[in-house]
């Protein structure tokens, strides 16, 4: 990410998301900075921190300080503290058979950021998705909490399949995702088709392949999208099927315009067997 303000916004939103994924509200944040001061200078660092502070403020949290060290490559994130009602903690281990799964943001940021870094994707194409990438998961969570949310996770570095598998194993269910219903950012599939990838795709594939059955007829580029690591991804919510369509409508009405019903959770016949826990239909 060449633009320092967007760098800061996205990194902060990504950090804050962990609190939202558990149903909580961010309270305080500490800046964590690794930065080559002599190489890049202080002006760029100020812009990164300004972008992060915008998101901290938007979340209603307080910046309580931070830590910095010299490093070869700029890195930035937050250590976030939040609060949640003890009787409303969301986890990725409480999905129930029969639940519908709703995803609140598109997928594909990993390959798009790498493609831009490799000069295969112009800034104008990347810039158009940055507001969505940097959007906090606060609105999606607040809308969802009016429904009977059973399970929740945010989609980050392990990709849609890695985080879905965590939900499946933790909840002792099978998860079916419908590929045609998954939302993707523009240009993501095209970048994989042109040979771009990420450093995490292979590891993400190995993480799930023993437990994965792909029944959909997918190209190699489409398969790679399933392993694409996300930065500041959306929430994956499980709710009773009868509430799913209404929740999608409510999310879109609140501005979470890419919210989609993407799959279902099913009962597993043999919980002790080394069997498939994840299918892509």
User: For the segment 98-145, what is each residue's pLDDT rounded down to a tens digit?
Assistant: 999 999 999 999 999 999 999 999 999 999 999 999 999 999 999 999
246-281 pLDDT tens trace:
999 999 999 999 999 999 999 986 544 555 699 999
Together in a domain, 118 and 216: yes
Q: Where are the beta strands (DSSP E) in 54-109?
A: 62-70, 75-83, 99-103
Residue 5, both tokens: 């303000």
The helix or strand, by DSSP H or E, that contains position 13, with its residue range, turns out to be helix 4-21
Residue with tokens 């507001």: 131
Number of domain units in the chain = 2
Q: Give the domain extent around 14.
A: 4-87
Q: How far apart are CA 5 and CA 7, in angstroms?
A: 5
Write down the pTM of the prediction: 0.94
- Residue 253 has φ and ψ, to the nearest 5°, of -65, -30
What pLDDT was estimated at residue 270? 53
Together in a domain, 160 and 66: no
Q: How many CA atoms lie within 13 A of 229 on its CB side?
A: 16
34: domain CATH number is 3.30.1330.10
Together in a domain, 224 and 199: yes
Which SS3 state, helix, strand or coil, does residue 47 take? Answer: helix
Which SS3 state, helix, strand or coil, does residue 147 take? Answer: coil
Task: Work out the end-to-end distance of the chain between its first and last CA atoms, rounded to an integer number of angstroms.
Answer: 34
What pLDDT was estimated at residue 268? 80
Together in a domain, 76 and 99: no
Together in a domain, 171 and 270: yes
């Amino acid at each position: 990410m060449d633009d320092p303000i967007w760098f800061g916004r996205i990194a902060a939103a990504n950090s804050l998301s962990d609190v939202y994924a558990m149903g909580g509200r961010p309270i305080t944040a500490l800046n964590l900075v690794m930065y080559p001061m002599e190489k890049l200078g202080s002006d760029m660092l100020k812009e990164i921190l300004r972008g992060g502070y915008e998101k901290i403020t938007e979340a209603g949290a307080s910046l309580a300080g931070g830590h910095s060290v010299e490093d070869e490559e700029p890195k930035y994130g937050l250590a976030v503290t939040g609060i949640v009602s003890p009787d409303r903690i969301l986890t990725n281990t409480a999905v129930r058979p029969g639940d519908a799964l709703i995803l609140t943001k598109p997928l594909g940021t990993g390959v798009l950021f790498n493609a831009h870094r490799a000069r295969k994707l112009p800034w104008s194409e990347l810039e158009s998705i940055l507001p969505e990438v940097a959007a906090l998961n606060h609105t999606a969570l607040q809308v969802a909490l009016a429904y009977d949310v059973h399970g929740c996770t945010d989609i980050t570095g392990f990709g849609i399949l890695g985080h879905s598998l965590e939900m499946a194993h933790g909840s002792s269910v099978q998860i079916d995702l419908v590929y045609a219903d998954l939302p993707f950012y523009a240009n993501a599939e095209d970048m994989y088709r042109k040979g771009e990838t990420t450093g995490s795709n292979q590891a993400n594939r190995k993480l799930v392949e023993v437990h994965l059955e792909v029944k959909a007829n997918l190209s190699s580029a489409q398969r790679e999208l399933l392993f694409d690591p996300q930065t500041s991804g959306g929430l994956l919510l499980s709710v009773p099927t009868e509430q799913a369509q209404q929740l999608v409508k409510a999310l879109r009405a609140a501005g979470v315009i890419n919210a989609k019903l993407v799959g279902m959770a099913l009962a597993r016949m043999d919980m002790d067997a080394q069997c498939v826990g994840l299918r892509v239909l």
